[in-house]
Structure 1
Amino acid sequence: MPETAPSVPSRLRDGSVRYARSLHPVGLAFALLFFVWSMTPSLLPRPWYLQAVATGISLATGYAVGCFVAWVVRKCGVEPHYSPKARRIGWWVLLGAAVILVPTFLVLGSWWQQIVRDLVVTDRANRTYYLLILVISFAVAALLLAAGRGLRSAARRLTAVGLRYVPAPVAKITSIVVLVAVLFFVVNGALYAGLLALANGSLAAADHDTAAGVTQPTAPERSGSPDSAEPWDSLGKEGRTFVAGGPSAEDITALTGRPALTPIRAYAGRESADTVEEVAHHVVAELKRTGAYDRAVLAVATTTGRGWVNQDVASSLEYLNDGDTAIASMQYSFLPSPLAFIADRETPMVAGRALFEAVYAEWAALPQESRPKLVVFGESLGSYGGQAAFVGGQDMLARVDGALWVGTPNFTEQWTRITENRDPGSFQRVPVIEHGAGIRFAGNPADLELDGPWGDSRVVYWQHAGDPITWWSFDLLLNRPDWLREPHGPDVDPGMRWIPFVTFWQVTLDMVFSADVPPGHGHNYGEDAVDMWAAILQPPGWTPGDTERARALLAGE
């Protein structure tokens, strides 16, 4: 009798069994441990699908760590030989642990996420979706494992080729070096450059759109108006939103009851010139055209990737100074912030230096008694790029009258240096610098109130305890940061703990929706900007009542 072909279910079952037998038990034990850890809380609530990705990456990482540990043990000469019965018992114990721990921590994980949602004052989620985490996380882990095995197979084939010509140790090392070099070239070289060029091209075309409700300003104090040398269409989507927004003189008077001027907003888009330095000179030309150097306060704002400026921060400055202000800003890239965050960290620094130095050169040439107050501000990549104009904290204090750096990324050199030199006993999330004499850190306005005197030039770093943009770092892979050793911030789950590898991926994925939480949490910086600018500039005539009204207005109350 001819043999019949096995059925599809039989083939699937046999394939699953073969795949399961190919897995290392120590790797699986570590993967189970990392699964448990991945469900623990981090800085912000995560949608179930991001939790699935974080868990899948953690499973693959745990498996890799377990296999590495087993390999090290074998290399040390320890290679126990278990009987078939002992192996069966071990597998059943591992299965039993998985049957208990996996559903238990799926339930606990969904519960912890609800606690985090309560802390950041956002709506609770449907916990039933957590059942899907198991399926998606296993799929993610399987894909990563397949990729890892593919690289291992490639390394073995390269080693086999090398053995024809050189000794085994040399062949193994050479294969690894060649494989890493090829990967680096593909990912960081040709592929990286190609994707970046493609992204720039497609996003440049999309930058011609205008946000809903945004119309060309008619006031001569705004770039892009009929009086401006900068065409409306050249400003970019975010630039058009910026110059068309903000309060009018009438809006300011309605809030304060005092006479006000129309605030100046000078801006140039990336299309206005061939280089970032030339774009900066276009902004200075707009400042001169509008009489910006005759205003009481002149602000230099470094934007994020595509030219975005936080309207709450800009408008707060204008309300506080009765509109007697000018804000200079520009677009330096077509990349959105998340992509620029990963792919291009050089251009924000070049733009921050170019814009500040161009504005500063004209300001410094004025008679000292007729210069406006000079301030700087920026958020996220804007904070990172804006600080590149200064050597450090003391240089900032010497050259400007005030600064407001918002949600500064962890990789910012000045921020890192200043934070590391904090006064003993102060926390990393709200460090105290030289008793607060010039630079102060705050998660909320109350943090600015220190016992010591505050000088005339004031720099504020505004950062939330739960902002993953500020706290993300590659160091999280293997090192516990001080902010997780210290008492946690008011909106961070007290149960959050640093876990090798796992915390890095949790905080990485927290960044995806870090601004999609209420103001005052995560990477959403809103009406507290009024208090921050009031503390920095102390405008005469400004009252606590003005602060409350401005806060309510910005909050949409």
Structure 2
Amino acid sequence: MTSTIATETARPQANPRRPRPSLPRTGPRIGTTLAITIGLTASMAPALLPRTAEAQAMVGGVLIAVCLAVAGSARMLLRRWDFDINRPWAAYRLPAASVGAVVVSGAVVHACHWQNRLRAAMDFAPIGIGYWMRCALLTVVIAGVPIGLARGLRWLVRRLGFARSAGLAVVAVLATQFALLPAVVDWRRTAYASANAEMDPTVVQPVSHTRSGGADSAVSWPSLGAEGRKFVSGQPARGVRVYVGLESAPELNSRVALALRELERSGGLNRSNLVMVVPTGSGWIDANAAAGLDQRFGGDVALVGLQYSEAPSWATFVFGRTAAEQSARTLFTAIEQRLSTMPHPPHLYIYGQSLGATAGSAIFTNDQDQRHRLCAALWAGPPADRVHHAGATILANSSDPVVQWSPRLLWHAPDLTDTRPDAPRPQWLPVISFIQTSTDLMSALAPSAGHGHRYGIDQGTAMGTC
């Protein structure tokens, strides 16, 4: 009897949750394969502009990291629900990886064909095997950085525990908000100010009284800023060119008053035509536009511009668009009032490119207001075509990502009615077209005039009439 009890006592108890036998791993997880395939294929979808190997690797690496993060999150949720998707599909890992490799190879062939079509249309050199080798190497490096950071953070959380990790995260967020970001902002402001003040020895100070910055001008040569100096010294020299920089006067109203005095002094109000030119964010005025306007009016024209920022257009568009619109509206209103006092005023026009087009169009409440107060307007490369059209000429290349970019690209095809075909057009794809167009913004100014966000002298010659 004792032996029987001992035997029953020694008998192992049944374990209701025995560990499942591990299956042989014959390739990456199905989710990992799917994530890498989707990320790489999406990154190589047809784009608007030719892309460098570095840019292609950047978008590919970021998309792979994002897709892997989504796959990892989905795997964690399924495990919490006690559902391991990898077990029933473990036998298909290697075939899935093979299919993924075939899909990615096909995407590479198609992307190579598309990129070379774009490059042929825009006079770029074709790409070859060296391009894709650099892409592959850089993509691995770029994708590896966020993956390594994520794994490092996961290790840190396990090491410190949730409470300590949460406290450390709060400290990092506060340090970023109150120390790192202000330091970066101050650094960029200093860099923009330095670029604006830099004196280019190849830009010669004008001697003509018809240009701002000359000996008899109330606007000093240094105060014009780098882009203003290029504008007033540009050719041809037939028309009047007035420009007032951010450093030319302490605040907006005084800069506007100075611009009007410059128009009086230079004889700009005695010309038959007056064009208010709205610069881009850094104060840049396209030399092609200035030359085209001079050609359009046979030199009988005065061009006037007012700087409102030292930062590039993208930064001003995001953080300082109100300043751009206020500057354009204040200058136009002052010019309009001055012309109303003249018995024979010049014909009034307005021109703007990119952010300058958006700011210039914001002067007017609607299309009818724009038609009533102007002879004509010309908008070149307007962002998302957000400008008034009445009495205006719209120049928009079909390959210009600035014209097409909008959050609506996530779910809606762009309206290409006002664009002029200059290169092969990619088919719109939900989400993917938004990603590709966002990436193309980085190289929007890389092509020559007539492609991307570059425009030629037709910015002036295409100006309408009264």
Please tell me the TM-score bracket, short chain as reference.
0.7 to 0.9
**Residue from 43, 51, 56 that aligns with 2:48:** 43
Select 2:96's aligned residue among 77, 94, 97. 94
Measured against aligned partners, the alpha-carbon deviations of 1:280-309 in whole angstroms (never above 9, x if no partner) come to 222122112223222211111111122111
Q: What are the Cα deviations for residues 100-150 of structure 1, in whole angstroms up to 9, with x where unaligned?
A: 333443333222210111233433234422112122112222223345566
Q: In 2 relative to 1, CA 493–182 (structure 1 residues): closer, same or farther, beyond 3 Å?
A: farther
Equivalent pair of 1:235/1:268 in contact (CA under 8 Å): yes
Correspondence 1:98-177 to 2 at 5 A: 98-147=100-149, 160-161=162-163
Partner Cα distance (1:290, 1:469) in 2? 36
Alpha-carbon spacing, 1:395–1:305, altered in 2? closer, same or farther (3 Å): same
Contact conserved, 1:210 with 1:241, CA < 8 A, in 2? no
TM-score, reference length from structure 2: 0.83
Matched, 1:537 2:459: no
Distance 1:505 1:181 in 2: 32
Counterpart of 1:330 (choices 306, 322, 326) is 306
Cα drift, residue 516 of structure 1: 2.1
Report what 2:329 is aligned to: 353
Question: 2:61 corresponds to which letter in structure 1?
Answer: G
1:74 and 1:231 map into 2 onto residues whose CA distance is 70
Q: Partner residue of 2:251?
A: 275
The aligned amino acid for 1:361 is: Q
Deviation for aligned residue 1:475: 3.4
Cα distance in 2 for residues equivalent to 1:180 and 1:357: 49
Task: Tell me the alpha carbon deviations over residues 23-52 of structure 1, each in whole angstroms, 9 at most, x when there is no partner.
Answer: 864254133122112112111110111111
Question: Residues 298 and 375 of structure 1 are in contact (CA less than 8 Å); yes or no, is this contact kept in structure 2?
Answer: yes
Aligned-pair CA distance for 1:362: 1.8
Give the match for residue 380 of structure 2.
406
In structure 2, the CA distance between the partners of 1:97 and 1:195, relative to structure 1 (3 Å rule), is same
Structure 2 unpaired stretches of 5+: 1-24
CA contact (8 A) 1:302 1:383 kept: yes
SS at match of 1:526: coil
| Closer, same or farther: CA 400–187 of 1 in aligned 2, 3 Å | farther
Q: 1:202 aligns with which of 191, 195, 218?
A: 191
Contact 1:40 1:112 (C-alpha < 8 Å) held by counterparts? no
Distance in 1, matches of 2:170 and 2:300, equals 57
1:228 paired residue number:
217
Structure 1 counterpart SS, 2:379: strand
CA distance in 2: counterparts of 1:472 and 1:234, whole angstroms: 34
Q: Tell me whether 1:292 sits opposite 2:268 in the alignment.
A: yes
Alignment of 1:331-480 (within 5 A): 331-364=307-340, 366-367=341-342, 369-410=343-384, 414-415=386-387, 439=390, 458-476=391-409, 478-480=410-412
The residue aligned with 2:37 is 32
Aligned residue type for 1:468: P
Contact 1:352 1:386 in 2 (8 A): yes
**Is it true that 1:522 corresponds to 2:455 in the alignment?**
no
Specify whether residues 383 and 153 from structure 1 end up closer, same or farther in structure 2 by C-alpha distance, changes over 3 A only.
Answer: farther
- The answer as to 2:424 corresponding to 1:493 is yes
Equivalent AA in structure 2 for residue 100 of structure 1: V
1:359–1:107 CA distance, 2 compared to 1 (3 A): same
| 1:89, distance to aligned residue in structure 2 (A) | 2.1
Structure 1 gaps of 5+ residues are 1-19, 164-174, 249-261, 419-437, 440-457, 539-557
Matched AA of 2:276? V
Q: CA RMSD in A?
A: 3.5
CA contact (8 A) 2:45 2:436 kept: no
CA distance in 2, matches of 1:403, 1:47: 35
**Pairs aligned (count):** 442
1:509 aligns with 2:439: yes
**What is the CA–CA distance in structure 1 between the aligned matches of 2:160 and 2:209, rounded to whole Å?**
67
SS of corresponding position for 2:56: helix
Q: For 1:154 and 1:391, how far apart are their aligned partners in 2?
A: 56
Larger radius of gyration: 2
Q: Once the two structures are superposed, what CA deviation does each residue of 1:453-473 show, in whole Å capped at 9, x if it has no partner?
A: xxxxx2122111110111122
Are residues 373 and 28 of structure 1, via their aligned partners in 2, closer, same or farther at CA, if it must alter by over 3 Å? Answer: same
Q: Secondary structure at the match of 1:203?
A: helix
- Retained in 2: the 8 A contact 1:31–1:61? no
Q: Distance in 2 between matches of 1:157 and 1:100?
A: 41
1:492 and 1:145, CA in 2 relative to 1: closer, same or farther beyond 3 A?
farther
Q: 1:379 to 1:110 in 2, by over 3 A?
A: same
Cα distance in structure 1, aligned partners of 2:424 and 2:66: 24
Cα distance change of structure 1 residues 495 and 162 upon mapping to structure 2, 3 Å threshold: same
Task: Give the % identical residues.
Answer: 27
